[in-house]
Amino acid sequence: MKKIFYFLSSIISLVFPTKQAVATLVPEQYQSSVDSADRLAKHIQTKFSIPGMQITAMKDNKVIWSNTYGYRNLTLKLALKNYNKMRIASISKMFTSVGIMKLIEMNLINPDSTIQTYVPEFPEKKYQITIRHLLNHTSGIRHYNNDEFNNPKKYKTIEESLNYFKNDSLMFEPGTQVLYSSYAYNLLGVVIERIMKMPYKDFIYKYLLYPSTLKYTIPDQIGNFIKNKSFYYYFDDKEIIRNTYDYDMTFKLPTGGYLSTSYEITKFASELIEGKILNEQILKLYLSPTYLKNGESTFWNMGLKNSQIDNTTNVFWQMGSTYGGCSAVIFDPVSKLTVCWLNNMSVAWTEEEILQMMKYFLEGNKKIKN
């Protein structure tokens, strides 16, 4: 009966979406922050000729600012709305890492167990790879090569996509270096499926999206009718903006295959740091720093990157770029501030721009304390 309910809920949210409610009045203490953030967003949109962009900022899981820029359909000049679904790229990895942490919370997985504990047929390497290595990008498993990033092939399962890299040698001994690896997260997706005995997307929906009432966050799959989906764009070799071709994301669901809105991603991050998704102990583990075998900090935790703003505030973030989309989400678990922005074009913000955007809102938060 529950399976039928989840299925019907998914169908209803796709066909009859309800427009998202967002704040229209900016709290006075954040007006200067919003003005600065708006200028930065407009600057980046102009610099990269981005057709459309969404931005949402929350404090204590309440919207303090949300805005859209440009178009969801450049040809017809249709304005982008806050409920238009965008490609969230590697923010999808946050669902995977939080999903693994949920399994740790349920005592179904040990982060220091080897991959073969859960996927026994995965080829043995010179060194052992643990779940923790996969989460914090220290596994030594390679990232995409050449045209693999825009691989148009449709896979029946996530497990089938492991064929691309499973027989390759490791780039280094796990735990000794950092190498950002989307393929490591594909492998984590298979781990989730093996433990839970259900498709990855069903697990993410049942344990993360449905409890957080994320109605607009869905897999980006060819053949599915998706209402309120933005068009997606890229620059061709002559620097002309083009529509993207149909691109099946099936093989990269755990790494970059979801659609969402800036509002829903900000909401998910807000509920995460409020302890509504993971308990206090597991959330602390999730946000704990990672160190290499030589004691050097990696600036990664169990799935997100960790940075400091003004050498005082620890923030956690994930950014991504995919075919026809770019994304970033950043939060401060102390002030409970979260910000997310999504583009419908294959251009990426810099780390400096991501941190600067967050800094504007942290400055507004200081006014509350004063």
Q: pLDDT by residue for the chain (370 residues), tens digit each?
A: 444 433 333 433 333 334 555 555 888 899 999 999 999 999 999 999 999 999 999 999 999 999 999 999 999 999 999 999 999 999 999 999 999 999 999 999 999 999 999 999 999 999 999 999 999 999 999 998 877 776 666 778 899 989 989 999 999 999 999 999 999 999 999 999 999 999 999 999 999 999 999 999 999 987 677 899 999 999 888 888 999 877 777 778 999 999 999 999 999 999 999 999 999 999 999 999 999 999 999 999 999 999 999 988 999 999 999 989 999 999 999 999 999 999 999 887 899 999 999 999 999 887 655 5
* Cα–Cα dist 57/63, whole Å: 6
Report d(CA 47, CA 44) in Å as an integer: 5
CA distance linking residue 30 with residue 368, whole number of Å: 9
Q: How far apart are CA 335 and CA 61, in angstroms?
A: 11
Instruction: Report yes or no: 178 and 138 within 8 Å, Cβ to Cβ.
Output: yes
* Rounded to 5°, angle at Cα 59 from 53 and 61: 90
Which position has the token pair 């080897």?
114
CA distance 282 to 277: 10
Tell me if 59 sits within 8 A of 68, measured CB to CB: no
pLDDT at residue 236, rounded to an integer: 87
> What is the rounded distance in angstroms from the CA atom of residue 338 to the CA atom of residue 80?
22
Both tokens assigned to 4: 């039928």
pLDDT at 168: 96
Q: Which two tokens stand for residue 292?
A: 């290499």
Tokens of 327: 């994304």
Beta strands at 52-59 and 337-343: parallel, antiparallel or unpaired? antiparallel
Please provide the CATH number assigned to the domain covering 26-369.
Answer: 3.40.710.10
**What are the residue ranges spanned by the domains of the chain?**
26-369
Residues 6+ apart with CB under 8 A from 260: 85, 86, 88, 91, 214, 216, 217, 218, 342
Distance of CA 10 to the CA centre of its chain: 20
Say how many C-beta atoms besides its own lie within 10 A of residue 244's C-beta: 18
Residue 220 CA to residue 285 CA, distance in Å, equals: 30
| pTM for this entry | 0.91
Rounded Cα–Cα distance for residues 96 and 137 (Å): 13
